[in-house]
Amino acid sequence: MQKISRYFRAATGLALMSSCLVLAQTSTQNISADTFRPLLSAPHRSQANVVRDPYRHPAETLAFFGIQATSHVVEILPGSSGYYMEILAPWLKDKGGYIAASRDDSLPQYVPDHQKLLQRLKDEADVYSKVVVTQFRANQHPIAPPGSADVVISFRNLHNWMEKNELQESLQAFYLALKPGGVLGIVDHRGRTDQTQAEQMTSGYVRQDVAIAAIEQAGFKLQASSEINANPKDTKDHPEGVWTLPPSYRMKEKDREKYAAIGESDRFTLRFIKP
């Protein structure tokens, strides 16, 4: 807790000094996917995460979000698997900063995974010693000092917040944490346009137009979209929704080869700016 408090005091001061910025650094500089590709072969990365790289396109995704080595990045709910944490935290620790906005204790079912994340940070201190952990649950906690973050990123979470009626509150927390001109990067399972959002909520898919409208309602402006994480093989009509596909394979061995051939879900990748 002392580490978090010191970070908040220091970062709040920096945020106040930079509050007059019109655009954050991350939104004005270009960066290549080649910057991130060497990071993908780092020895500390877990094999379970490495095998997902062909589906998640991490180098291209991070470049699209414009993350620099000097960026202060907040990742929402990285989980103990820490897919993007493995890539970003070591890269940002010298010149930038990485915050893992993790679970609070309001949902007991997620506490074990949160504790697993904390233990991992402790066990791999040589890699994660500068990671700052904050609490996240809608807008109940500050995920970072106000106006301090260059980038906030979230992967496949929107449908959960929609189901809990916490989407706008979550977006408020992101907006507060970001600098003017800061980037909100969103990746999620892309829903069908021939069904309403309500009709496909239980499947885990989110209509792209619904997502954009909701995020812009919170004050963000869509800057760009990308097909980096598109998958035209995903028919989005699976028996167990998106969790039918890898890596979940909720059907277990039934039709496993069929779903393995499809791969992970079709996803939209969106970059928003805080005006």
Inform me whether the pLDDT recorded for 14 exceeds 60.
Answer: no
pLDDT, tens digit (0-9, with 9 covering 90-100), for 153-170: 999 999 999 999 999 999
Give the three-class secondary structure for 217.
helix
- CA gap 237, 239 in Å, rounded: 7
Q: What is the pLDDT of residue 30?
A: 78
Q: Could you please state the CATH topology (level 3) that the domain comprising 2-273 is classified under.
A: Rossmann fold (3.40.50)
Please determine, for residue 141, whether its predicted confidence score (pLDDT) is greater than 90. yes
Go through the chain and tell me how many residues it has: 275
Closest by CA to 270, choosing from 160, 155, 166, is 155
The dihedral through the CA atoms of 66, 64, 157, 125 has a sign that is negative
Write the Ramachandran bin of 30: left for phi over 0, alpha for psi from -120 to 50, otherwise beta: beta
Domain ranges of the chain: 2-273
Q: What pLDDT does residue 239 have?
A: 98
Confidence grade of residue 275 (pLDDT, cut at 50, 70, 90)? very high
Tally of CA atoms within 13 A in the half-sphere of 31 that contains its CB? 22
Average pLDDT, the chain: 92
Query: Residue 246: what pLDDT?
Result: 98
Return the higher-pLDDT residue of 21 and 263. Answer: 263
Q: For tokens 């829903």, name the residue.
A: 191
pLDDT at residue number 20: 38
Is 2 strand, coil or helix?
helix
User: How far is the C-alpha of 193 from the C-alpha of 92, rounded, in Å?
Assistant: 38
DSSP 8-state class, residue 203? G
Q: Is the pLDDT of residue 266 over 70?
A: yes
pLDDT score of 151 more than 50 = yes
Tell whether the model's pLDDT for residue 11 goes beyond 60: no
pLDDT tens by residue, 80-114: 999 999 999 999 999 999 999 999 999 999 999 99
Is the pLDDT confidence value at 6 over 80? no
pTM of the model: 0.90
pLDDT digits (tens, 9 = 90+) for 15-38: 444 443 334 443 445 799 999 999
